[in-house]
Structure 1
Amino acid sequence: MSRLRPSVRERTPIPSPEPRGYRYVDDLEEQNDDALEGLSAKVNLLKNLTTGIGNEIKQGAVELAHMNDAFEETGGILSGTFRRMNTMASRQGCRWLWYIIFLVMVFWFFIVVWWLRR
């Protein structure tokens, strides 16, 4: 009956802990060395990955700082332009408002004609 149904010890893939001489010890050392090499490779991979992520974060922070400076400069230019436009509008009175209304109506007219001709 032992031939048909192997015992638990025979079914396990783990080698038995019973020493079989120097060959057994050498095999265990080789397995440990292989496992250690695999773990070292994984640690190095993770180290390189985290270093790369850190470099990307630093580069992104520098680019964001440059973009922030550019937006501040653009905001200064636009605020100056808006201030000059308000000064011009206050000098001309209400006439500029009529120009804007006229341009909106012309633009609306062209949109309606284009829509009907489609």
Structure 2
Amino acid sequence: MKKQRPVNLDLTTIKLPAAGRASILHRITGVAMFFALLFVLWAWATSLSSENGFLYVKDVMQSGFGKFVIIGTLSALAYHIIGGIRHVIMDMGYWEELSSGALSANIAIGAWLVLTVLIGVVVW
């Protein structure tokens, strides 16, 4: 049995609603935090191994790459917390309508962008 379904392989033509973007960002930041945790654990273990290890991690964290990783990790954490709070509020029965859900998603994404800029200014 062959199904004749329309196929759209051009993903640039698909426009997700705000709630969809917020949900996907929440999942992406969760995965990003998992991989960032590998860097954090490495830095923690290396810095506790010896004085030279601590100085090496300090140099890495003060480099451009280290600052980029710190900003990315804190940005992912910030959005994941904001998105998580949004989901908890929705689980309590609020912001479930289309208009309020879209508004809360846009506010969450906007707050995340503002926090990311602030994190970047503070870290850099």
Is TM > 0.5 for Structure 1 vs Structure 2?
Answer: no
Which structure exhibits the higher relative contact order, with contacts defined as CA atoms closer than 8 Å and separated by 6 or more residues? 2
User: Which has the greater radius of gyration?
Assistant: 1
Compute the TM-score of the two structures, normalised by the length of structure 2. Answer: 0.30
Compute the TM-score of the two structures, normalised by the length of structure 1. Answer: 0.32
